[in-house]
Structure 1
Amino acid sequence: MSYQVLARKWRPRSFQELVGQSHVLQALVNALDQNRLHHAYLFTGTRGVGKTTIARIFAKCLNCEQGVSSKPCGQCSSCKEIDDGRFVDLIEVDAASRTKVEDTRELLDNVQYAPTRGRYKVYLIDEVHMLSAHSFNALLKTLEEPPPHVKFLLATTDPQKLPITILSRCLQFSLKNMTPERIVGHLENILQQEQIPSETPALWQLARVADGSMRDALSLTDQAIAFGDGKVSEVDVGAMLGTIDQGQVLKMVTSLASANAAHILASVATLAEHSPDYLAVLDDMLSMLHRVAIAQAVPDAVDNSQGDQEQILELASVMTAEDVQLYFQIGLVGKKDLPLAPDPRSGFEMALLRMLAFRPDGAPVAPKALKIAVTTPSPTSSDDNTQSVSSDSLAEGETSDPEPEAVNLSSPEPVVESPAHDQQVVEKVAALVEVEEHSETQKPVKDNFEPPVIDDQPQEVAQQETVQQKTVQQEAAQQEAAQQKTPPSSPVDVQVPDNHAPPAMEDVPISAYEQADHYGQDESFNDAAPPEWSAETAALNSVEASYVQEQPVVSAPEIKPQASPVRAVVELPAKEHRVDFDALNEASWIQVYRGLPLGGVTGTIGSHCELAQKEQGVIALRLDAERSTLYNDTHRQRIEKALGEYFEQSITLTIDTGRIVGETPAAWRERKIAERQQEAKDSIYSDAKVQNLVEAFSATVLDDSIQPIGNVIK
């Protein structure tokens, strides 16, 4: 009899022999045992995870001569014929080769006929996503309401390409990829029964390359058996796959943890003898660093998918989280720079040395003798090709070449300059300290900056400016006295910028509404205080500039503080300028609102209200529905309080949302602004000089550049 490959020989013939996919088996087994069978099943998943195998076992469970159950006998003629692939009522269709609508129609013409041998006629359509759109349309009606003796089993690796109308008619089961641990366990069981010697590290390599596919793992095992002359060894599998031994990668990561550049270069030299793919080596190192980072964050989350769980946990205990993140980031950048290097090896070595060079200065270094078992293949060994060494075994075996000390490239020794230079620096620092002490004892610290209150009294403003000028003169005199105490060897000329308060706003007769500046703004926007300048800051800037530029006299640049916005204090208008409560109407509501000390969102909400009704002690406002997004009862209470203070009586305020009929304060303000803008334009266009310029040079007046003078709205 001819040889049968492992993937076919060891294909499961019952649900009990299946490896993994327990979430799918539970649903199918319960449905078979309880006789709750659907007419269409869809199995999705990557290649080699058991889609077709589960479908065949399910067909065997349906047509077993012993009855429908989750455990077919496997001995009857129906079970044997299904295993051999010659059961007449199991119609397997390769949708990739029969994509036309004519093929689908020919297939469905026989659906109405009863099964020949079995209990059910089972249609197994593999790679169903390859069918054409017309084929799916032809299949829809039959798939939705097939005869009671027909079952559809669909399998695909790309369910996204299936129409939603097909998905809605099937029970969908998504098969998971096989974990490396599960693949290794299954391979060990098969090789043990086949009486083929194997090494566990070799099986781990096969499991990693299989990438979750059990069929790929069995096919690679067949290849490894042939390559290794009847055995599966780590060296043979590594040579067959062309992969890098994980022991070498672990050794380099261990050397990084110990900050041992000599060991790193020695590992690269050993690795270069096999002409590796350095980009793949970097990928393996990044994968290992990723698992180390996971072990540091959540130790229980580290799996044994690479067969090195203990080594990863050991590395996580001796490496800092900062180092792991730094090495990972530098490795990612090194992958992009590797094609630009003169040769791949030099680019790979520079990436590793860069990890040590940019290591934070003062960070703890892991012990050099890490007790991490590293499996390293011996190129000249015979059958037994593995040996267990630690990261410091290389140094212990090298008697002629002693182990070099760890080198931290990121912390060079400081450069010692001339004594004269040191004396000059000391004198400058002493001068700075003396200036700071003198300033701290003489100048009070201003913890809270309060903006000046703007009113209509020019005399008080002038007095305030006079006081500020005196304060600045005193500070300048103190600074000059401090400079006289500076040693002659470091003449530092420190100029203290003026510490003027923000300039006073222009004294213009603006209304309370414009003073609050609440139209569409929040009160907190104007609370920022201007930056304060001190003698200490100026002295520090001056000494730093003198130290860097080595100039005998350095003056700090005069930086004028920018004037920050200052919110004016809003007061209620005088009683003779207020509107009486009895005279309140829709026309006078705008005047009343302009006299209310409201700001922020509350002021914006109130400006979009109109007077709806007024009774004795009760005012009803109507808010524009388009402006009611931010309205709540808090704003109503603030407006109610402001109205009570304005009319000097108890006011009950109600605000409803609706359609605005009259003119709101916000609309009035916009109209006034538009009128002032139009007046400014008329003034420009009617000016004789402007008219002469337009006529003489064919000039054009830019309307956007015309702005009214002043900001008073009357």
Structure 2
Amino acid sequence: MSYLVLARKYRPRNFSEMVGQSHVVQALGNALSTRRLHHAYLFTGTRGVGKTTVSRILAKSLNCTGVDGQGDITAEPCGVCQACIDIDSGRFVDYTELDAASNRGVDEIAQLLEQAVYKPVVGRFKVFMIDEVHMLTNTAFNAMLKTLEEPPEYLKFVLATTDPQKVPATVLSRCLQFNLRPMAPETVLEHLAQVLGTENVPAEPQALRLLARAARGSMRDALSLTDQAIAFGSGQLLEASVRTMLGSVDRSYVFRLLDALARGDGKTVVETSEALRLNGLSAASTLEEMTAVLQRMAVLQAVPDRGGVDDADPEIAETARLAQTLPADETQLLYSLCLHGRGELGLAPDEYAGLTMVLLRLLAFKPSSAMVPAVQARSPASSLGSAAEPAKKPQPESAIAGARAVPEPAATASVAQPVPVAVPERSSSQNQGRKDAPAHVNAESVAINSEAPVGLPGVPAPAPRILPTAPAPLATTPLGDAWSQTVNQLVVAELVAALTRELALQSELRSQDEGMWTLRVERESLNQAAAREKLQAALQQALGDTAIRLTVEIGPVSDTPARRNAAALAERQRAAEEMIQNDPFVQDMIRDWGARIVPGSIRPLAPKPI
């Protein structure tokens, strides 16, 4: 006798054997028990979740005659009567399965519908099962609509598809739709253990976990992979052999990477990436395993008492330890970067180079506070600057020679292009006194009717409002005043650009000592030698002092030109909005005409360069 694969040998024969689809089993069982039977059913879901199996069990339930041949419609088909046996073997004359992937035209559907006029030959009902129904042509769908809506009382339609979005709404409205869900790895794991126990195949629990995860919610895929693993392992399932067969990355590499990322240890990260290359392990699989572990860590961080994971999994202890080591916000950031990094592997010179760049990106975006100790330990200049801080008093503003103040202009408002709205004519008495409306208020920025449509043909829509990012608490210092003025002068004169400009704007001047200037930045990525040298040269050119020498340390900052500029922008925005809202003409328009200020239409004028 030829070997029968596990996926066919252990196909459920009745509803009680169905795994992971209790919501569908309950609905169909109750409908069969109460005789509330619809004429058309649509089963949707991914591959291997039981769509065809449910269809066959439903056909047996409708046509089962029982052990004694006197049975009726039942939710528990006997499996031994002639109808049940014939349906299981695929030779029941009143049960027709049509593969719409290869029979998708109107002629095939017309040929099937021709059989609908004849009553069942041996069964109680005719059942037409159309698999992959979304593959039918539009003409074929239209041809079956009438029969699908009002079939004979002895005819039942069962449709199955993996893509219900492609099924016309006219068909969906004529069917009862049941969505078969992908199965959880725990459910697949439990079923595999039962099957292998029946087959007397020894299996390690961790090997079954690998197979359950690799199935991705499909029980058929899980059983097929188990068949392959049994053959690969010579009749037994060992974790090492299953991992080799699947090409899965050992979670020990993943835990090592996450631990190194938590500590900011770039050396270990690069070494582990190189070990993955030497062992020929998949870069995509590595990132996939990392996202799986990070997801479990995020759940453990949100629900520490439960975590939503299998407590019997030996990896849960290490996952829980990492969940306590890594902050929740960093866990979310790493998950997002790993998820998007998988899509970039195909664009890299090779997948291992792409993997290394993704891992280094995880370090680059790591908050600088977690990496300060390592940076200070290898930066003599930063340690000297930090030690000198307590002994030095803040320098006065005049300490920076040649620095000129950049005056802040008065808060004025400019109005973005709004949607023109026709203003009704007012009487002469109403118009009196309106000729002296202030020039800086544009009446078109006030919408007369809040229900007025926007985006009319040929009319530009109002520009979206871009609010400035709320700056961190700003603690100003005399050194910060002088440094901000100097940096703004360099920016206006275009003496700095790109990374050099960012270094100047994001840095805080900590001390000046005989030409040695110490800056502090939060991000290590800004501390580049080339940018530091260009900023030093720009300062020497602007201030005429060739004795200036820059050193940069890493640490928290509180008074930077960027934060001062953000605070100034926020203040100008607030003043501009207040000016418009308090303007008498605008207030009259709001009071007399029910007008409203278009959100986002008010913007402060940019300060004029000196």
1:50 to 2:50 alignment: yes
Q: CA deviation at 1:425?
A: 13
Letter matched to residue 55 of structure 2:
A
> Aligned residue for 1:218?
223
Query: What is the alpha-carbon distance in structure 1 between the residues aligned to residue 189 and residue 577 of structure 2?
Result: 74
> Aligned residue for 1:163?
168
1:321 to 2:321 alignment: no
CA distance 1:218–1:494, change in 2 (3 Å): closer
Query: What is the alpha-carbon distance in structure 2 between the residues aligned to residue 153 and residue 103 of structure 1?
Result: 17
CA contact under 8 A between 1:496 and 1:535: conserved in structure 2? no
581, 585, 597: which one aligns with 1:599: 585
> Aligned residue for 1:153?
158
Query: What is the alpha-carbon distance in structure 2 between the residues aligned to residue 159 and residue 62 of structure 1?
Result: 25
More displaced stretch, 273-282 vs 164-173: 273-282
Select the structure with the greater relative contact order (CA < 8 A; seq sep ≥ 6). Answer: 2
278, 283, 290: which one aligns with 2:283: 278
Query: What is the alpha-carbon distance in structure 2 between the residues aligned to residue 324 and residue 270 of structure 1?
Result: 24
Q: Work out which of the two has the higher radius of gyration on C-alpha atoms and give 1 or 2.
A: 1
CA contact under 8 A between 1:516 and 1:567: conserved in structure 2? no
> Aligned residue for 2:561?
none
Query: What is the alpha-carbon distance in structure 2 between the residues aligned to residue 346 and residue 142 of structure 1?
Result: 58
> What SS class does the counterpart of residue 75 from structure 1 fall into?
coil
Query: What is the alpha-carbon distance in structure 2 between the residues aligned to residue 125 and residue 501 of structure 1?
Result: 74
CA distance 1:361–1:77, change in 2 (3 Å): same
Residues 465-500 of structure 1: CA distance to partner in whole angstroms, max 9, x if unpaired? xxxxxxxxxxxxxxxxxx8xxxxxx79577778999
CA distance 1:231–1:513, change in 2 (3 Å): same
Q: CA deviation at 1:343?
A: 6.1
CA distance 1:629–1:122, change in 2 (3 Å): farther
> Aligned residue for 2:381?
415
1:61 to 2:61 alignment: yes
CA contact under 8 A between 2:296 and 2:307: conserved in structure 1? no
> Aligned residue for 1:4?
4
> What SS class does the counterpart of residue 148 from structure 1 fall into?
coil
Letter matched to residue 415 of structure 1:
A
CA contact under 8 A between 2:93 and 2:121: conserved in structure 1? yes
> Aligned residue for 2:68?
none
Query: What is the alpha-carbon distance in structure 2 between the residues aligned to residue 7 and residue 500 of structure 1?
Result: 76
CA contact under 8 A between 2:437 and 2:585: conserved in structure 1? no
> Aligned residue for 1:106?
111
Q: CA deviation at 1:535?
A: 9.7
Q: CA deviation at 1:36?
A: 0.4
Q: CA deviation at 1:258?
A: 4.1
Which residues in structure 2 correspond to 1:664-703 (within 5 Å)? none
Q: CA deviation at 1:168?
A: 1.0
Letter matched to residue 288 of structure 2:
D
CA distance 1:192–1:251, change in 2 (3 Å): farther
Residues 258-316 of structure 1: CA distance to partner in whole angstroms, max 9, x if unpaired? 44556545544543342122243233223422432343234456444995444333311
Query: What is the alpha-carbon distance in structure 2 between the residues aligned to residue 333 and residue 410 of structure 1?
Result: 32
> Aligned residue for 2:140?
135
> Aligned residue for 1:30?
30
Residues 590-636 of structure 1: CA distance to partner in whole angstroms, max 9, x if unpaired? xxxxxxx9532434654xxxxxxxxxxxxxxxxxxxx55659xxxxx
> What SS class does the counterpart of residue 115 from structure 2 fall into?
coil
Letter matched to residue 413 of structure 1:
S
CA contact under 8 A between 2:394 and 2:479: conserved in structure 1? no
> What SS class does the counterpart of residue 514 from structure 1 fall into?
coil
CA distance 1:266–1:125, change in 2 (3 Å): same
> What SS class does the counterpart of residue 116 from structure 2 fall into?
coil
CA contact under 8 A between 1:184 and 1:203: conserved in structure 2? yes
Query: What is the alpha-carbon distance in structure 2 between the residues aligned to residue 151 and residue 605 of structure 1?
Result: 67
> What SS class does the counterpart of residue 13 from structure 1 fall into?
coil
Letter matched to residue 313 of structure 1:
A
CA distance 1:83–1:536, change in 2 (3 Å): closer
Letter matched to residue 142 of structure 1:
T
Query: What is the alpha-carbon distance in structure 2 between the residues aligned to residue 415 and residue 289 of structure 1?
Result: 37
Query: What is the alpha-carbon distance in structure 2 between the residues aligned to residue 502 and residue 304 of structure 1?
Result: 60
> What SS class does the counterpart of residue 111 from structure 1 fall into?
helix
Instruction: Number of aligned residue pairs: give it.
Output: 460
CA distance 1:512–1:423, change in 2 (3 Å): same
Unaligned runs of 5+ in 2: 66-70, 413-431, 447-476, 487-508, 518-535, 547-571, 598-610
> What SS class does the counterpart of residue 7 from structure 2 fall into?
helix
> What SS class does the counterpart of residue 124 from structure 2 fall into?
coil
> What SS class does the counterpart of residue 110 from structure 1 fall into?
helix
Query: What is the alpha-carbon distance in structure 1 between the residues aligned to residue 44 and residue 207 of structure 2?
Result: 30
More displaced stretch, 331-340 vs 261-270: 331-340
Query: What is the alpha-carbon distance in structure 1 between the residues aligned to residue 371 and residue 381 of structure 2?
Result: 24
Q: CA deviation at 1:199?
A: 1.4
Query: What is the alpha-carbon distance in structure 2 between the residues aligned to residue 9 and residue 511 of structure 1?
Result: 92
Letter matched to residue 56 of structure 2:
R
Aligned CA RMSD, in angstroms, stands at 4.3
Residues 361-413 of structure 1: CA distance to partner in whole angstroms, max 9, x if unpaired? 44399xxxxxxxxxxxxxxxxxxxxxxxxxxxxxxxxxxxxxxxxx8257643
CA distance 1:269–1:306, change in 2 (3 Å): farther
> Aligned residue for 2:436?
514
Unaligned runs of 5+ in 1: 366-406, 436-482, 484-489, 504-509, 523-533, 555-561, 569-596, 607-626, 632-714
Normalised by the size of structure 2, how large is the TM-score? 0.65
CA contact under 8 A between 1:491 and 1:553: conserved in structure 2? no
Q: Give the share of equivalent positions with the same residue, in percent.
A: 42
CA contact under 8 A between 1:198 and 1:233: conserved in structure 2? yes
234, 238, 245: which one aligns with 2:239: 234
Query: What is the alpha-carbon distance in structure 2 between the residues aligned to residue 176 and residue 166 of structure 1?
Result: 21
> Aligned residue for 2:15?
15
CA contact under 8 A between 1:361 and 1:411: conserved in structure 2? no
Normalised by the size of structure 1, how large is the TM-score? 0.56
> Aligned residue for 2:367?
360
Query: What is the alpha-carbon distance in structure 2 between the residues aligned to residue 501 and residue 93 of structure 1?
Result: 77
CA distance 1:179–1:273, change in 2 (3 Å): same
> Aligned residue for 2:188?
183
> What SS class does the counterpart of residue 68 from structure 1 fall into?
coil
Which residues in structure 2 correspond to 1:386-425 (within 5 Å)? 408-409=374-375, 412-415=378-381
Which residues in structure 2 correspond to 1:258-657 (within 5 Å)? 258-260=263-265, 263-264=268-269, 267-299=272-304, 300=306, 302-304=308-310, 307=313, 308-328=315-335, 331=338, 345=352, 348-349=355-356, 351-352=358-359, 355-356=362-363, 359-363=366-370, 408-409=374-375, 412-415=378-381, 432=396, 492=401, 514=436, 520=443, 549=539, 551=543, 598-603=584-589, 606=592, 628=594
More displaced stretch, 174-183 vs 325-334: 325-334
CA contact under 8 A between 2:590 and 2:596: conserved in structure 1? no
Which residues in structure 2 correspond to 1:61-80 (within 5 Å)? 61-65=61-65, 66-80=71-85
243, 251, 272: which one aligns with 1:246: 251
